[in-house]
Amino acid sequence: MTYRSDPEPWITQLISSRSARTGAVVRRLVAWVEREVGHAAFQAEVKRRGYHLIRTANQYVIICHNGPIDILF
């Protein structure tokens, strides 16, 4: 798989979105993440920031805060 030569601008744009800055939720298609930056780089960046990452069906859901979460059902 070939990724962009420099994925940093894409990651910066995602993480600096209004939703991310306010601790909300951001979602991205799994295929889009793979095409733009690759799963490993994306997951490493989310983890580095202390956010929570959920994969469901064909989407990643990023919970943009490092507080506890409960999955209720």
For the stretch 43-67, pLDDT in tens is: 998 898 899 999 999 999 999 999 9
- Between the CA atoms of 71, 35, 9 and 14, what dihedral angle is there, to the nearest 10 degrees? -20
Q: Is 50 left (phi over 0), alpha (psi -120 to 50) or beta?
A: left
Counting beta carbons within 10 angstroms of the beta carbon of residue 62, is it exposed (0 to 12), middle (13 to 18) or buried (19 or more)? buried
C-alpha angle 44/51/15, rounded to 5°? Answer: 75
pLDDT score at 3: 58
Supply the pTM of this predicted model: 0.80
Which regions of 1-73 does DSSP assign to beta strands (E)?
25-29, 52-56, 59-63
